[in-house]
Structure 1
Amino acid sequence: MAESGAGAGALGRAVRGVRGVPYGLTVLGYRLRSAARRAGRRLGRVTAWCGRVASWLGQLPGLRRCLPRSVRGRATLGATAVVAVALGAASVALVGLLDANLWENAESAAGQQATAVAALAAAGRFDPLPPPAHGADFYQVVGADGRVLAASPNLAGRPALSPKRPVRTGTERSTWDTGLPHGEHRQRVVEVTTGTPQGLVTVFAGTSLRDADAVDDTTTASLAVGVPLLLLTVALVTWRVTGRALGPVEAIRAEVAEITDRDLHRRVPVPASQDEIARLAATMNATLDRLEAAGARQRRFIADASHELRSPITVLRTQLEVALAHPDPALWTELVTGALEDTTRLQALAADLLLLARLDAAEPAPVTPVDLTELVRELAEARRGDPHPVAATTPPGPPVTVLANPLWLGRLVTNLLDNAQRYAETRVGLDLRVADGLAVLTVTDDGPGIPAADRERVFERFARLDDARSREEGGAGLGLAIARELAGCLGGRLTAEEAPRGARLVARLPLA
């Protein structure tokens, strides 16, 4: 009865030890650590292999020259490399998860076999022991002295699987890989130590990992074939898609390559995709529009400049020929005076053309704070004796200061006053005020005025209105064009606005 009670107590301790919560937590933690170690080993091998390949490639002197230079080739290579890395990581994770799951099943079967045999050993029932259960391949019972007390038929006559000896009462579970000569596959062994009437014994139960090995081999072979095919598919698809996406870019490049300075009317094709390439084509066409307009302005400017220069040169040549053909001292004064006037006109026209060329080239000019109030007063005072005096009005209080180049600002106001005095009948007005944080300079006259349809055309180079602004009244048609360019370079703007009578030109400049 005492032995029976002791056996029952040992059996209860074994069952509680195997099925207890601490045991379950221990097994769960072990499985997680085991799966992490296996995945880490595989990932480490892959990383080491990639490192060796990268080191080998880095030693190649012509590797950089071998890389594709086209966007299509680089995009294909980059997409294929990214997919290759992703597939490699996914393959390692897949094999690791499958392996961990199969190892868990093998360990569970071995654990159930060890638990059942430990329960029989705790009850003192060593003979006869049942054959291995389904899923388990063998078991072995080893006493405290290292003697094999019982074993499954396929381990009959073999020594103890482990030299480890039990040292305390209770149940202890451990798992390890062993290289048993039984079979051609690895074995998963579970160890359970429990107390029996004869003392402490250790039960070893194991199962084959042939399923895990088979799955590893099958999965590895499948990935070895499938991954390269998938990478090839990704490369081909990327190559085709990138080629289709870059087709419009190549068409734009080919069209731009054929456009010369004589074919600025041509435009690049705009795809109907409404994407970035379509916007690029639209921007390119807008740039070509500006180039064509700039070319047309340049040709028109050259033609007008040639025409304007030809007239005074022709007159000057005629006067010199007359003076040479009729060497009459009485006519020399009149001829020299006319030649001097034409020379002055040529000099002024050349100076205007040079200034326009500098403004077109956007050459920077030094700027300083300029007292616009004092400048307006000085220019008005200098024209006091003109046929049409300038009536200047400045705001009371502190002076109006702007940040500008003094020469350019003086030329701007001078051109506006020259234009007003050229076409005024009785008076010219010059008004300075401050509005909306800007210095507003207004020049008015009581002449024929500027029609609404021509308020922008008067700022074109060599532009003249048919009736009111003719060459006989002076000027080459560059004054207002230069004034608008100067206003733009000074950060402001010049406009022609409606007036009750005559012309009204308004320049707005930022304050200093």
Structure 2
Amino acid sequence: MSRPFASVRARATLGATLVVAVALVAAGAAVLFSLYANLTGQAGADAERNARTVAADLAGGVPYRDLQLDDQDEPVQVLSADGTLVAATDGLERISGTATGQVRPSPQPSPTPTPTAGGEDDDDDTEADTEADDVGDDDGGSGSSLGPGEIGDAAPLSNGSATIDGRSGDYRFARVEVDVPGQGTFTVFAGAPLATEQSAVDTALKVMLVGFPLLLGIVGGVTWLVTRRALRPVEDIRQEMAEITASEDLTRRVPEPDTHDEIARLARTTNETLAALETSVDRQRRFVADASHELRSPIASLRTQLEVGAAHPELLDVPGAVADTVRLQHLAADLLLLARLDAGERPLDARVDLAALAREAGADRPGVRVMAEEPVEPVEVAGSRSQLERVLGNLLDNGRRHARSEVTVSVRTAGGKAVVEVADDGDGVPEADRERIFERFVRLDDARSRDDGGAGLGLAIARDVAVRHGGTLTVATAPAGGALFTLRLPLA
């Protein structure tokens, strides 16, 4: 396939691949974020559950020295009211993300009751207590008021890491406060591993890194093939048009796909354009041939008369030569006007009184009677005076050639239009020929002499001028039985 269509395929493939890539990246990011949030939330819930289990033992009266933390697989820390580590998971070697980095409980004296419910003394501004207050306490930290044996509702979460029996990992820690009767408010930190979350996210990321490029490759390949198949009829149309251009054979047509899409409509429109072009070229060729034929007769006659006059001056038919010259002049003028009309020349935007124009045209032609000699108001249209004068003259000349006695002309207005009617009392125009007479170089009576019948351009010029002025020209049967030509033009 040629480069322009390959370029279209490449652009379509690239565009589709980019759109899918952006969609996949956005969807993948959303999936990873959702997976991370769900698994992190699950780890936080497990950490809170572990912390509340230990807090429940403390609230139930179990001494912190007797807490069963040796069997815990997750890191647990228990801090006293003054922030001292009093209990921890057995085998805890390192921890971060909690209020203290201590891993071994400090020796504690026997518990003694404290004078306040919150269990805080005047030395609660120690460094350990300051660290405990800084770890995500939503309800005021150790200063919160809990009744005897109550467990705090809040469980702030944080991320950290820990090493237990030589195994290190990341954890999600929950902080729960509990009031131990007679000992004050203790703080329990318990963790839940984030290994499952990290493993799941890593696995999903690896699947995306492998699957996304593969999916993009499939999308690109399918788009390339589909675009190639969709553009194949376009290439067929292009090749046929190139062959038509090279051969100049306007009878050929491009193939039309059996679909109802834009390409099929393009093919149909192209064939319609070719048909219109073929008609126009054929019409132009016939016009040139007919014009040559029409010009040959007066030129040959004029040449013959001049040659005879040159050899025998006494035999020179001067009136005949003048008549042939005038006929040749009129024919040349008609051909020039038709060429200007075919070139799309727009008429002048002047105001023309059709009633006055009809009176002037009728006055120059014997046998023409103009109805309504004095119209109440002028019937004005916008256009070229010379071209409209040619229309009226052609219609009157045509009527005079076919009328038995007279030609009548009437001018009036009807429905926002100027209406000019030219009627004769001749034989009329057969209904089957009422459109054919407006074709160029058409004569219904082929036996008539060319001098009497003209070149067959008058009515063609009249209709073309009427159409150029936004009007119509039709023929029907006159009341007297002859032809009735009706010219309708928009009023100015």
Asked if 1:431 is matched to 2:410, the reply is yes
Please tell me whether residue 257 in structure 1 is matched to residue 242 in structure 2. Answer: yes
Range 181-190 or range 214-223, more displaced: 181-190
Q: TM-score, normalised by structure 1?
A: 0.81
1:485 corresponding residue in structure 2 = 464
| CA distance 1:436–1:195, change in 2 (3 Å) | same
TM-score by length of 2: 0.84
Structure 1 residue 434: Cα displacement = 2.1
Tell me how far apart the structure 1 counterparts of residues 168 and 483 of structure 2 sit (CA, whole Å): 108
What does residue 132 of structure 2 align with?
164
Task: Confirm whether residue 127 of structure 1 aligns to residue 103 of structure 2.
Answer: no
- 1:454-493 alignment runs, 5 A limit: 454-466=433-445, 470-493=449-472
Distance change in 2, residues 1:106/1:247 (3 Å) = same
Given the superposition, is the C-alpha separation of residues 86 and 133 from structure 1 closer, same or farther in structure 2, using an over 3 Å criterion? farther
1:94 aligns with 2:94: no
**What is the CA–CA distance in structure 2 between the aligned matches of 1:138 and 1:155, rounded to whole Å?**
7
> SS of the residue aligned with 1:140?
strand
Q: Is contact 1:140-1:151 (8 Å) kept?
A: yes
Show the 5 A alignment for 1:228-267.
228-260=213-245, 262-267=248-253
Given that 1:146 and 1:160 are in contact with CA atoms closer than 8 Å, whether structure 2 keeps it comes out as no
Structure 2 residue 488 is matched with structure 1 residue 503: no
1:104/1:391 Cα in 2 relative to 1: closer, same or farther (>3 Å)?
A: same
Verify the 8 A CA contact 2:98 2:173 in the aligned structure 1: no
For 1:157 and 1:431, the matched residues in 2 are separated by 117
Match of 1:304 in 2: 290
Query: How much has 1:429 moved relative to structure 2?
Result: 1.2
> Cα deviation per residue 1:394-441 (whole Å; 9 max; x = unaligned)?
795432222222222222111111111122110101122222222221
In the alignment, the residues of structure 2 paired with residue 471 and residue 278 of structure 1 have an alpha-carbon distance, to the nearest angstrom, of 50
Are 1:223 and 2:202 matched, yes or no? Answer: no
Q: Is 2:271 the counterpart of 1:290?
A: no
- Cα distance in 2 for partners of 1:306, 1:463 equals 15
Aligned counterpart, 1:141: 78
**Using the alignment, how far apart are the partners of 1:142 and 1:67 within structure 2?**
76
Instruction: Kindly tell me the number of residue pairs found equivalent between the two proteins.
Output: 439
Contact 1:142-1:160 at 8 Å conserved across structures:
no
Identical columns (%): 50
Larger deviation: 216-225 or 151-160? 151-160
SS in 2 for 1:279: helix
SS of 2:313's partner is: coil
Aligned partners of 1:345 and 1:510: how far apart in 2?
33
- In the aligned structure 1, how far is the partner of 2:42 from the partner of 2:296? 104
Q: Judging changes above 3 Å, is the alpha-carbon distance between structure 1 residues 132 and 174 closer, same or farther for their aligned structure 2 residues?
A: farther
**By percentage of residues, which structure has more helix?**
1
2:369/2:408 contact within 8 Å kept: yes
CA distance in 1, matches of 2:450, 2:4: 67
Q: Distance in 2 between matches of 1:132 and 1:466?
A: 126
Higher relative contact order (CA 8 A, sep 6+): 2
Query: 1:445 maps to what in 2?
Result: 424
Partner Cα separation in structure 2 for residue 76 and residue 307 of structure 1: 60
Contact preservation (8 Å) 2:44, 2:173? yes
Shift of 1:319: 0.7
Q: Secondary structure at the match of 1:495?
A: strand
Mapping 1:25-104, distance limit 5 Å: 70-104=7-41
1:87: Cα distance to partner? 0.5
Structure possessing the higher radius of gyration over alpha carbons: 2
Equivalence for 2:122 = none
1:323 aligned partner:
309
CA shift for structure 1 position 181: 4.4
Task: After TM superposition, list the pairs within 5 Å mapping 1:411-422 onto structure 2.
Answer: 411-422=390-401
Q: 1:454 to 1:140 in 2, by over 3 A?
A: same
Aligned to 2:124: none
For 1:99 and 1:91, how far apart are their aligned partners in 2?
12
C-alpha distance in 2, partners of 1:180/1:422?
A: 119
Distance of 2:241 and 2:220 partners within structure 1: 30
Question: Which residue of 1 is the match for residue 174 of structure 2?
Answer: 190
CA distance in 1, matches of 2:271, 2:205: 55
What SS class does the counterpart of residue 70 from structure 1 fall into?
helix
Contact 1:379 1:414 in 2 (8 A): yes
- Alignment pair present for 1:180 and 2:162: yes
What does residue range 338-357 of structure 1 map to in structure 2 within 5 Å? Answer: 338-357=320-339
Tell me the CA shift for residue 469 of structure 1: 5.7
Checking the alignment, whether the CA contact within 8 Å between 1:402 and 1:511 is kept in structure 2 is yes
Q: CA deviation at 1:130?
A: 2.8
For 2:387 and 2:79, the matched residues in 1 are separated by 109
Contact 1:111 1:205 in 2 (8 A): yes
Which amino acid is the alignment partner of residue 308 of structure 1? E
Would you say 1:201 and 2:177 are equivalent positions? no
**Quick check: 2:97–2:161 contact (8 Å CA) kept in 1?**
no
Q: Provide the secondary structure at the position in 2 that maps to 1:185.
A: strand
Task: Write the letter of the residue equivalent to 1:130.
Answer: Q
1:12-66 CA distances to partner (integer Å, 9 max, x unpaired)?
xxxxxxxxxxxxxxxxxxxxxxxxxxxxxxxxxxxxxxxxxxxxxxxxxxxxxx9
- Structure 1 letter corresponding to 2:17: T
Alignment RMSD:
2.4
CA distance in 1, matches of 2:19, 2:4: 16
Inter-CA distance 151–415: structure 2 relative to 1 (3 Å threshold): same
CA distance in 2, matches of 1:462, 1:157: 111
Distance 1:342 1:310, change over 3 A: same
Whole-Å separation in 1 of the counterparts to 2:475 and 2:447: 16
Deviations 1:235-293, CA, capped at 9 Å, x for gaps: 11111111111111111111011103730000011111122211111111111111111
Worse-matched range after superposition: 487-496 or 150-159: 150-159
Give the Cα–Cα distance (whole angstroms) in 2 for the partners of residues 375 and 218 of structure 1: 94
Q: Structure 2: how far apart are the matches of 1:105 and 1:67? A: 56
Distance 1:83 1:158 in 2: 45
Aligned equivalents of 1:80, 1:317: Cα separation in 2 = 78
Gaps of 5+ in 1: 1-65
Q: Which amino acid aligns with 1:196?
A: V
1:213 aligns with 2:193: no
